[in-house]
Amino acid sequence: MYEGEFISQPSTGIFERPFQIFTINLAGRFSYVSCIFADPFDGSTPLSAVLHAVKELFNAGCYEVSLGDTLGVGTAPQVRGLIEYLNAHGIHSNKLAGHSHDTYGQRLTNAWQAYHCGIRTFDSSVGGLGGCPFAPGAKGNVATEDIVYLFQNAGIETGVDLDKFVGVGIWISQQLSKPNVSRAGVALWSKFQKSAATQSVAAEPSSDRKTSSLVHWSLVQKQSFCASCGPEQMSTSSLTTHYRATS
């Protein structure tokens, strides 16, 4: 850890103060290296700079380091090249995680490539929310719904209830007045709505079916509030969704 006025070295993610360096104990911590392929200040990031930053974090006690493509400019061959480079220099994939933004639409291919290179931990955000304050134009993280859909359909257990995340993604996007950029989330939500509407029509008495076209489905969210922390501290695990038919 460095004290006082910092000199930023964006390519390495290391911050230095001339003449005085202090060490921080990161034992038991999870950490990140940002801009692994490029940054907005220096351009392309050398592989050796990423290796240096990763080693420093492990030497400080971190148990896992996430490789962050902050600008979202990386491609699958670059992902493979970087991980193989780190492996060749003693950094094992089981101590690494993946963090990818989707600026150039490479989020899923990069995650899939990282998985095949041995990485088993990935950052994601529901509805593909996110961005980066110091990287103008950077899009959100890989959508949770998309990456879970990919892995589950590949026969890889994730422990995630995809249907519930689809509902959360729709809800939070509405609350923030932002488009839901999860392709899987939007497609599955549309499928759920059609299925629910079909079941509703089938359950109606035949004499009432002529009015079925007037039935509309809307998302209703139930919020569980913690008395001690209030709604501001509410986690996504406390959100449930269901359908309600209104005429």
Active site residue 132: yes
Compute the Cα dihedral for 152, 117, 121, 177 and give only its sign.
negative
Whole-number Å distance between alpha carbons of 53 and 47:
10
Q: Which one from 35, 132, 226, 229 is the annotated catalytic residue?
A: 132
Two structure tokens written together for 206: 């035949």
Report the catalytic residues. Answer: 132
